[in-house]
Amino acid sequence: MNIETLHENVGKWLSDSGSESGTVLSSRVRIARNIEKNPFCHWANEKQREKIYQLLFDPVKSSNYFAGGLAVRVDELSKLDRLLLVERYLISLAHSRGMKFTALVVSEGEIISTMINEEDHLRLQVLHSGFQLPEAFELAMEIDKDFQRKIKFAFTREFGYLTACPTNVGTGLRASIMLHLPALVFDRQISSILQAVSKLGLAVRGTFGEGTQSIGNIFQISNQVTLGKSEEEIIVDVEKMVKEVIGHEHKSREKLMKNNRLRLEDRVGRAYGILTNARMLSSRETIELLSTLKLGIDLGIIRSKTITAVKINASRIQTQPAHLQKFEGRELNHLERDICRAKVIKKIFSKRRG
């Protein structure tokens, strides 16, 4: 893998595989760990951050799980490359700010990634396509055990793993599902559903996680607390609630097809027409139109070898600002990005496969 060519493809977690792929875009497990007897990142000075980096970077990148992948110093990357990594869900917005001695190690295919010196010393992420939370959890636990053979993490019998944020203390585990819920939004049921999820102790976030808004009818549901429950209990709780949300989305889709099929078909057709013929497309408009188009594919309104869910997933990633500028090899203003975005959409949809 190479940072300069990363924008040309998308990660395997966008392959539209796994169960419930029509509704569940991805399953993610993230684990937070800190090296014992070292200050948390927000308390550490530059020298201490350098020590943490040196203790982690080589052991992580030398793991067999990252063979053939990418290992970079985030603080040494350009602002554009850091934004590119955010757009690919490989680093957080906080990690992209370029603080000294930050690093990223990514596996081939981008299923596994590890941030070094973000909020915690180490944050391991496993991303799978579709509803595969137990599989992502199992892989994350395997890698965590591999790391613990080389690194001594801060842990107490009373509190479990110690983390920079109190809500992560305990297991240090955050399990999240990225859901595509256009029918619930269309049917105006989304607010009540998400309020019920929040009341049961789960967090609902936007497209890029904490502090972001939902765009294109995409929502993330995750656990809020990691203390007082085992890793397995957290996974079961998130799975159970997500299954209920999926059930409501399926019912809303059936209702739409029964009561508003013509209106829905018209909406899907318009989305297809604009995406494949527009000369300029804004970022928000593109994401919203892609959401409608994906719903049309999932419901069988569109049956095409050239317009597929995989291509829609690729389009969501590759039409973002940093990706467009990497494609063009230069900085683009807003208007130039809108023109380039329309061209990229046409190029993706014109390919026979994917």
Per-residue pLDDT tens digits for 166-211: 989 999 999 999 999 999 999 889 999 989 998 888 988 766 555 4
Strand ranges across the sheet with 218-223: 70-73, 103-106, 112-116, 122-129, 24-33, 173-180, 218-223, 202-205
Residues of the chain with CATH 3.30.590.10: 6-254
| pLDDT at residue 305 in the model | 78
In degrees, rounded to 5, the angle at the alpha carbon of residue 10 between the alpha carbons of residues 347 and 289 is 55
Give CA torsion, residues 144, 176, 8, 64, to 10 deg. 10
Residue 125 to residue 91: CA distance in whole angstroms: 10
What's residue 118's pLDDT?
Answer: 96
**What pLDDT does 286 receive?**
97
List of the chain residues with pLDDT < 70: 206-214, 352-354
At 329 the pLDDT is 94
Q: Is 6-254 in CATH node 3.30.590.10? A: yes
Query: For residue 193, which phi and psi values (nearest 5 degrees)?
Result: -65, -45
Between CA 200 and CA 207 the distance in angstroms is 21
Distance CA 128, CA 28 (A): 6
Contacts of residue 19, Cβ cutoff 8 Å, sequence gap at least 6: 130, 131, 132
Nearest to 175 by CA among 225, 130, 213, 219: 225
According to the model, what pLDDT value does residue 295 have?
Answer: 96
Rounded-to-integer distance, Cα 181 and Cα 328, Å: 33
